[in-house]
């Protein structure tokens, strides 16, 4: 096993080949990750500056100052300047920012992926876009298809409401479209503008906590399904995907609809959920693929926050180094909701990893979305 999980196993217990694993699990692991790209908006907000401005508006939270310092976040990126965030806005103002900034980020990611993979617009067969922090009709994928010059018969799938889990769930939906026919190219992009949804009149603790965590960003993956007999080469294989939704947990995370925008719903029970319930859900998912946790060589975990990462360390009985890329992304970007796990994937891929890695992200439902990526 690699240094990531630092859980040695004997040579006799080494994991089987990628082909053997595919056949044993029954998964159609014929989809490769051709490329990964990320983008952030131009405004950079230091965590200390955000804290001071927040406490100026809501001095009643001064005794909770340490919450900001303990998030593990040093800075975040935003589509709007800090002054904008610190004023009250309604649906029209928020949506105006969304309809300008989100398409730009989506296009930036898409063009970066096309350049990295050499896949031209006319060769893209389907496009999937996930977003939960803004609304546009026609949806973002329609505008993107027109700006990129995609074919008129391109398949489109907009996804809303997946929250932080959207990076993994959206990737899984895109993979299903890729598997529909050999040689298909599927573009998946996710974008979130969390900061435009801040509501300064909301003095609930949940809103204060969310203000300490969330930033803006976009990320994407270009998927390609292999033709019969085609080798993946050096491209990672996207394998088994799945989800686990805990019953009667809808109130754990989500949006409420308020007069002036989305109201954040974020339960203090989330770290407990991760600590107590992630392990059994993960064991069930891995068992379907004929695997155990000890068969993994790395973890690509959505960094929902410091407490969630620490809870995952306990739940999976893994050292902090196993989640180092998640901690790095959290520190530099905060929690950007759905794109964040793809930032962690991009960070992981820069180190040219080997072996089988698990992608995981929590989201509204309350759910955890899972995927296996084999780097060979």
Report strand pairing: 31-39 vs 216-225. antiparallel
Buried b (16+ CB within 10 A) or exposed e, 178-198: bbeeeebbbbbbbbbbbbbbb
* Angle subtended at Cα 27 by Cα 21 and Cα 31, rounded to the nearest 5 degrees: 95
Give the DSSP per-residue string, 219-275: EEEEEEEPPTT---TTSPEEEEEEEEE-TT-TTSEEEEEETTEEEEEE-TTHHHHHH
* Angle subtended at Cα 374 by Cα 371 and Cα 376, rounded to the nearest 5 degrees: 180
Q: Which helix (H) or strand (E) covers residue 77, if one does?
A: strand 75-78
Active-site residue (options: 29, 131, 164, 194): 164
* Distance, CA of 332 to CA of 94 (rounded, Å): 25
* Distance, CA of 274 to CA of 164 (rounded, Å): 14
Name the token pair of 254. Answer: 């989500």
* Distance, CA of 178 to CA of 31 (rounded, Å): 7
**Pair 363, 169: CB distance under 8 Å:** yes
Q: Is residue 164 among the annotated active site residues? A: yes
Total residues belonging to the chain: 376
Buried b (16+ CB within 10 A) or exposed e, 318-352: beeebbbbbbebbbbbbbbbbbbbbbbbbbbbeee
* Distance, CA of 261 to CA of 196 (rounded, Å): 9
Name the token pair of 333. Answer: 């970007």
Write out the catalytic residue numbers: 164
């Amino acid at each position: 096993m690699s240094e990531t999980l630092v859980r040695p196993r004997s040579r006799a217990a080494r994991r089987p080949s990628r082909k053997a694993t595919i056949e044993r699990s029954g998964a159609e692991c014929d989809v490769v990750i051709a490329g990964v790209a990320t983008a952030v908006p131009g405004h950079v907000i230091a965590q200390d500056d955000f804290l001071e401005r927040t406490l100026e508006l809501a001095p009643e939270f001064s005794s909770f100052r340490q919450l900001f310092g303990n998030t593990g976040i040093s800075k975040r990126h935003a589509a709007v300047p800090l002054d904008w965030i610190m004023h009250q806005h309604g649906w029209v103002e928020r949506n105006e920012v969304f309809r300008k900034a989100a398409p730009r980020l989506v296009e930036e990611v898409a063009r970066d992926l096309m350049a990295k993979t050499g896949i031209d617009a006319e060769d893209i067969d389907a496009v999937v876009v996930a977003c939960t922090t803004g609304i546009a009709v026609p949806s973002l994928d329609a505008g993107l298809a027109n700006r990129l010059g995609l074919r008129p018969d391109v398949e489109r799938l907009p996804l809303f409401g997946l929250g932080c889990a959207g990076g993994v769930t959206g990737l899984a939906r895109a993979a299903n479209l890729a598997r529909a026919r050999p040689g298909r190219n599927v573009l998946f992009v996710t974008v979130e503008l969390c900061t435009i949804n801040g509501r300064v009149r909301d003095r609930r603790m949940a809103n204060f906590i969310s203000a300490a965590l969330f930033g803006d960003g976009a990320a994407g993956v270009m998927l390609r399904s292999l033709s019969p007999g085609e080798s993946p080469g050096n491209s990672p294989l996207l394998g088994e995907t799945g989800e686990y939704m805990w019953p009667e947990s809808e109130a754990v995370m989500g949006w409420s609809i308020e007069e002036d925008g989305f109201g954040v719903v974020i339960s203090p029970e989330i770290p407990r959920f991760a600590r107590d319930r992630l392990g059994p859900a993960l064991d069930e998912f891995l068992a379907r693929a004929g695997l155990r946790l000890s068969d993994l060589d790395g973890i690509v975990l959505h960094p929902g926050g410091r407490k969630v990462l620490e809870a995952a360390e306990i739940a999976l009985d893994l050292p902090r180094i196993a989640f180092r890329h998640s901690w790095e992304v959290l520190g530099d970007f905060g929690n950007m909701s759905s794109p964040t796990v793809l930032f962690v994937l991009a960070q992981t891929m820069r180190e040219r990893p080997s072996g089988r890695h698990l992608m995981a992200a929590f989201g509204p439902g309350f759910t955890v979305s899972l995927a296996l990526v084999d780097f060979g």
